[in-house]
Structure 1
């Protein structure tokens, strides 16, 4: 692959924190540009509505603001053991207990923000299941604003959907945390209007690092996309 560079702008619709892009969405943009299975590392918050340089080479991709590195992607083989899907009824019940309804650090988040309206945010409210510890689930039906004319949901939105549920799976141990690394695999096309079950589960904890898996399942209980994430706890205020 030859060296390619393009200018991209992250629309404010796709924020995580109020002034920067949602981590999963940004990772999905780099993965699209690289065009191969990859792991993305977030180095600094990507600003919104700002021209950014997306540089693609044979060995990876970088998102930059001038000389500042915001995110980088490298080829990566994702191997993740997936739990069985929970039922739609279980997911519906779980989301009623979404911790973000009580206290949400980022109510504006494109993926899990409680202040976002339908057809604007994804509104994925993954709450704890009774099935096992550190496991969350929710229902999600991607809307038509996320799809091309053929009805297929763009992959960066699937990367986004796989992001926040992992945080809510590890939140009790992680506290306030930021997405550090993320790798996702889209196994088959997903269409707007298709109801999915979203799952997130803790994989392990290591000091300030918390590892989570997430997956999207179709109505037959088949996994159609999955991801692994590293969440990094912010140091407690002195």
Structure 2
């Protein structure tokens, strides 16, 4: 059994998409699978609710008590190049230009919410830096560290989540994560600062295809993701 603590929300009453996708991917990786994983969310992930695992050779599933599928994880692959590295000056410019400071549909979001304090949320505030790119610094707070001083897969996937959504601009159209393919090459380390980059690749109706990457300040790629975001109506979402 597992629960999604309320701290790890995205929209107010459901789990942060990246964190939950990372949770399901971590369970699959724990079964001996390697390489990129693709996680799909089938419903708004419920918070503070007992959930169950189901595994087979091809797929890991996170289920409600009644058997509804919350999310799945399978082996995955990337279809595009990772968003490019940007320097410290550029990530500072992205932070300064963050649209969420003015308009934010989910200001309590674990990854990018402006209403979350240090050690409570990741506070990755990604603003536009040109060419369909967003960028922001991420200083890894000790509150998210594992005993070895790194962050776990769900937190790393959460960090790889919202910079892509802001590349499609949450403030222009509210969206939630549908699918995320990611791989973490080197777990982020507590106390270090990373450069988070998001990139809009394509829009297809209500779907937005984006990519994200985390780099060290020296330009080492430590993790990357590709996402499909789904535009929603806030008035009916989760209803």
Q: Note whether the superposition's TM-score is higher than 0.5.
A: yes
Measure the CA separation in 1 of the matches of 2:19 and 2:234: 27
- Segment of structure 1 superposing worse, 177-186 or 141-150: 141-150
Quick check: 1:174–1:210 contact (8 Å CA) kept in 2?
no
Partner of residue 38, structure 1: 37
Partner of residue 146, structure 1: 144
TM-score w.r.t. the length of structure 2 is: 0.91
Give per-residue Cα distances to partners, 1:169-222, cap 9 Å, x unaligned.
Answer: 012797111111001111113211111000000011111111000000002112
Quick check: 1:200–1:212 contact (8 Å CA) kept in 2?
yes
Q: What SS does the corresponding residue of 1:171 show, helix, strand or coil? A: coil
Alignment of 1:85-164 (within 5 A): 85-129=85-129, 132-164=130-162
Aligned-CA RMSD value: 1.8
Quick check: 1:124–1:140 contact (8 Å CA) kept in 2?
yes
Partner of residue 58, structure 2: 59
Task: Tell me: CA distance 1:173–1:114, structure 2 relative to 1, closer, same or farther (3 Å).
Answer: closer
Q: How many residues align?
A: 230
Quick check: 1:174–1:232 contact (8 Å CA) kept in 2?
no
Task: Tell me: CA distance 1:147–1:67, structure 2 relative to 1, closer, same or farther (3 Å).
Answer: same
User: How many Å apart are 1:237 and its aligned residue?
Assistant: 7.6
Task: Tell me: CA distance 1:173–1:191, structure 2 relative to 1, closer, same or farther (3 Å).
Answer: closer
Measure the CA separation in 1 of the matches of 2:121 and 2:171: 26
Measure the CA separation in 2 of the matches of 1:54 and 1:39: 16
Measure the CA separation in 2 of the matches of 1:207 and 1:187: 33
Quick check: 2:105–2:170 contact (8 Å CA) kept in 1?
no
Measure the CA separation in 1 of the matches of 2:6 and 2:235: 29
Extract unaligned runs of 5+ from structure 1. 1-6
Give per-residue Cα distances to partners, 1:101-149, cap 9 Å, x unaligned.
Answer: 11111011100001000011000000011xx332100000111121112
Q: What SS does the corresponding residue of 1:104 show, helix, strand or coil? A: coil
Measure the CA separation in 1 of the matches of 2:234 and 2:155: 31
TM-score w.r.t. the length of structure 1 is: 0.92
Give per-residue Cα distances to partners, 1:46-94, cap 9 Å, x unaligned.
Answer: 1111101121221111111122111111211224302431111210121
Measure the CA separation in 2 of the matches of 1:82 and 1:135: 12
Measure the CA separation in 2 of the matches of 1:235 and 1:48: 20
Quick check: 1:174–1:233 contact (8 Å CA) kept in 2?
no
Quick check: 2:62–2:71 contact (8 Å CA) kept in 1?
yes
